[in-house]
Structure formats: structure tokens, C-alpha cells
Amino acid sequence: MRAAKAVRPTATATSGTAGAKLVVEGVSLSFGGLRVLDKVSLSASTGEIVGVIGPNGAGKTTLFNVICGFVRADSGRVIWRGEELQRHRPHDLARLGVERTLQGVGLFPSLNALDNVLVGTTPIGRRGLASELFGLWPSSHYERRLRSRAMEALSVLRVAEYAERFPSSMPYPVQKRVALARALVSDPDLVLMDEPASGLSSSDISELGELFKGLRGTIGILLVEHNIDLVMATCSRIFVLDFGKVIASGTPAEVRADPAVRAAYLGGAGAEQARAGAGVDGAGDAGVGEGGAERARG
């Protein structure tokens, strides 16, 4: 895979804010009687990759939904570049330089790969000023620029040959790459990625890791992922959610060594053992060691 910086061919009006920071402060949310997020606080800045891990149902996707404005928190705040986001919708975030990939794929089935990526290039705020003021359609020159940028993003993700194909005729890993291209094409400051490695082969995951390492230092990534090897290899900081609470945070080494994390992943009798300190060095059995992520699921 080429250097990831190449995914950022041109600066946009919304990019280039060095050190832009997302802060989640004390966010709580209940669905019915179920407390899904419980005073969750975390942060992620442009330039760093921050992991959010935790067993199934821990609240990771719900946290992304709150950040993006799909769901309103009962309490707490989401702050981006020093300003609280209130009553925002997901498309507002795109204009502010924040993109998201969905758990699964989330491509539009009726659009080919190129058009799916083009969707990521066209928040209204990125049209020319004249188009904005006078309600003009984007010029053909402008459209050509967007198309070439979208093609470049597909090339960087090594799926340019699928540009004219529809999602239903692409292998799953290709669909995932197209979805990533769509998130990266707009030159975002921060991307929220929900399980980008799910369903990928180990060689695809290695390439993804290389892409992330190339992006490190340029954009920020908040990475929800069950593939712990990928998280450990790419994240500088990790937050661990369990039953909606942040139960641990720190560097990969700190999180890996945390008995509470092992307890969360093991559950049941294993949790008792881990709480008692047993197996903390036996990474492979705990779900937070080498390649143990999938065992943590389900």
C-alpha cells in the first residue's frame, strides 16, 4: 500500500487544524432501563490513533452514535476543537472534518464504488463559494476534480479496478476498502472506525495496519476493533469499555497488563481467576493477548 499521506491529495476548507481534539466528557445513556454508557470520558487528537475496545455489547458503537449525533446522550458532553457539539447530525460532522466508517460496510447498494466514494467528497460546505451563494450546481471542472480525488482514494486502497462495480458484486474485503476510501477521501482530521478489520483475512489486516501506521501523525483515528493485535500494533492509547463504563485506559502495554481488562474479556469463572491475579501473564488465553480478540466475542 502506498504512503497513506497520498490519500490526502488536497487540503479542504475544513482540514489542516493541527492538534484538533475530540473530547468526550462524562457521557451517559440508557435505553429503557439498560445503562448502555456510564459516564464515559475519553479523548482523541489529530495525529494519534486511539483504540476503544471491549466485549460485545460494551457500548462501543453506541458511543460512536452519540459522538456522531445519531443518538442523544442523557448527560455529558462531546467537544470537538474546543466547541461542544449540540444537536448535530452526522453530516454536520463531515463538514467539521470528522468522518466515520460503520460496523459492517454501509455502502449504498445502488451506487458503484466510485460513486460511493464520491458521496464522501461532497458535503455542501466543500463546494465553491459562488456555488454556495448562488445555489449553482458544481462546475464540471469541480466534478472532475472530485472524481479524480475519489479515484485516487480507491487506488491508494488498491481497489481502483472495482470503480465501476456495485457493492453486491465485490468481495467483502473490497467493500471494506471502498468504505475506508469514502471515509478518507475528504481529507478528514479525525475518523471514527467501527471494526474496520472484521471479516478480513490476516494479510488484509496487516495491510490495514500499515495504512494506519502511515496515517499516524497526519489524521486522528478513534478505532473500535476486536482484533487486538491490530489495536496493540497501531494505537498509542487505548480505552477499555465494559458494560458502558471505561474500566481501563493507557498505553497498549498498560492495558494488556490490567487485570480488570482480562476479567472483562474472560467473564464468569475466568473473571474470578483474573481478578485474583491468575493468568495475567498468560496473554494468549485472556482475549487481550496475541490474536485472542475473537475469543472475547459472543
Ligand X SMILES: Nc1ncnc2c1ncn2[C@@H]1O[C@H](COP(=O)(O)OP(=O)(O)OP(=O)(O)O)[C@@H](O)[C@H]1O
Residues engaged in binding ligand X (CB under 6 A): 31, 36, 54, 56-62, 103
Question: Distance (Å, rounded) from C-alpha 229 to C-alpha 294?
Answer: 11
**Which C-beta is closer to ligand X: that of 14 or that of 61?**
61
> Which residues are CB-contacts of 228 (< 8 A; sequence separation ≥ 6)?
53, 287, 288, 289, 290, 291, 292, 293, 296
Pairing of strands 21-31, 34-45: antiparallel
Q: Nearest distance from residue 241's CB to ligand X, in Å?
A: 6
Query: Rounded to whole angstroms, how far apart are CA atoms 262 and 125?
Result: 45
Q: What is the 3-state secondary structure of 78-90?
A: EEECCEECCCCCH
Residue nearer to ligand X on the CB measure, 212 or 239: 239
Task: Please give the Cα distance from 86 to 13 (Å, whole number).
Answer: 22
Beta carbon of residue 195, minimum distance to ligand X (angstroms, whole number): 7
Closest distance to Mg ion from the beta carbon of 136 (Å): 40
| Residues of the shown chain interacting with Mg ion in the complex, contacts defined by CB under 5 A | 60-61, 103
Q: Which is nearer to ligand X, 114 or 208 (CB)?
A: 208
Please choose which of ligand X, Mg ion, none residue 36 contacts, taking the beta carbon within 5 to 8 angstroms, the exact cut-off set by kind.
Answer: ligand X
Using CB distances below 5 to 8 A depending on partner kind, what does residue 56 bind out of ligand X, Mg ion, none?
ligand X
* Residue 149 CB, nearest approach to ligand X (Å): 31
Of the pair 34, 276, the CB lying nearest ligand X is at 34
Q: Which is nearer to Mg ion, 52 or 159 (CB)?
A: 52
**Nearer to Mg ion (CB atom), residue 41 or residue 103:** 103
- Which of ligand X, Mg ion, none lies near 54, with the C-beta cut-off 5 to 8 A by kind? ligand X
Phi, psi of 95 (to 5 degrees): -65, -25
Q: Residues with Cβ < 8 Å from 12, sequence gap 6 or more?
A: 97, 126, 186, 187
Residue 172, helix vs strand vs coil: helix
CA-CA distance, 162 to 153, in Å (whole number)?
12
CA 288 to the chain's CA centroid: 20
**What is the spatial distance between Cα 23 and Cα 245, in angstroms, rounded to a whole number?**
16
Closest CA to 244 of 6, 23, 54, 32: 54
Smallest gap from residue 296 Cβ to ligand X (A): 9
Is the CB of 103 or the CB of 122 nearer to ligand X? 103
Whole-number Cα distances in Å, 61 to 24, 67, 101, 167: 14, 10, 11, 23
Residue placing its CB nearer to Mg ion in the complex, 60 or 182: 60
- 141: helix, strand or coil: helix
CB of 62 to ligand X, least distance (A): 3
Q: CB of 31: closest distance to ligand X in angstroms?
A: 3
**The three grid cell numbers given for residue 286, joined into one nine-digit string:** 485472556
Shortest reach from residue 57's CB to ligand X, in Å: 4
* Residue at shortest CB range from Mg ion: 61
Which residue type does 209 have?
A: G
Residue 62 contact among ligand X, Mg ion, none, beta carbon within 5 to 8 Å by kind: ligand X
